[in-house]
Amino acid sequence: MDTSRQIARRLLEVGAVKLQPQDPFTWASGLRSPIYCDNRVLLSYPAIRSEVVSALAGAAGAIHGIEGIAGVATAGIPHGALVADRLGLPFIYVRSSAKEHGRRNQIEGRLETGRRYLIVEDLISTGGSSLKAAEVVRAGGGGVAGAQAIFTYQFPSADRAFQHAEVPLTTVTNYGTLVEEAASMGTITDDEAATLADWRQDPRAWSDAFSD
């Protein structure tokens, strides 16, 4: 079994990703969704956590010139720190906004001017938080070698956003692989797999149709 399928299986086994095509979740945006992902769950399973970190560290090898790791607050912080430790690289993390007290930092740790950082996030949906973190690193004088995450929903708009920002993106596994693996495990039926495929093509239309 290749790494992408193996990690997808792990996400399903520990409930980091849950699939409920017949009883969708409601996201913070208000959209109904047949999938919910919380990769922070992985932190509670040492063997699987190590497996995921190994996969992230291995994937980082495909990105040229990484000199440091930048975790995206908050879910990207632990995974980023673990990857930095595995690779023996400096680590910083980027807040969504600057603190309102103390030194009013938005970047925690020591960002070195000119150092090329890999942005680490747990999940890519729109890509907004990762790309905002990349902007903050660049504004602080650092470089961005690329971005990586454990899982991506594979929204075309996110792929275009990373390309436009000139931030190469790698992920350990993805939505399509996870749905295939869930079907092979018997977690979902063929009809549910088809429903999940429809959702990814147009999440808003799917949500609106389900609500109706």
Task: Render pLDDT for 121-173 as a digit per residue (tens, 0 to 9).
Answer: 999 999 999 999 999 999 999 999 999 999 999 999 999 999 999 999 999 99
How many structural domains comprise the chain?
1
Instruction: State the DSSP code for 74.
Output: T
Whether residue 206 has pLDDT greater than 90:
yes
Is residue 66 in some structural domain?
Answer: yes
List the CATH number of the domain containing 20. 3.40.50.2020
Residue 104 has what pLDDT?
67
Q: Which residue segment(s) compose the domain that 119 sits in?
A: 3-200
pTM above 0.85, yes or no: yes
Nearest to 196 by CA among 38, 14, 35, 36: 35
User: Which H or E run contains 70?
Assistant: strand 68-72
List Cα–Cα distances, 22 to 15, 26, 33, 191, in angstroms: 17, 13, 10, 11
Q: For 4-17, how does the pLDDT look when each residue is reduced to its tens digit (9 = 90+)?
A: 999 999 999 999 99
Is residue 69 in some structural domain?
Answer: yes
Is residue 205 in some structural domain?
Answer: no
pLDDT band (50, 70, 90) for residue 29: confident
Is residue 162 in some structural domain?
Answer: yes
Nearest to 48 by CA among 84, 80, 13, 1: 13
Whether residue 69 has pLDDT greater than 70:
yes
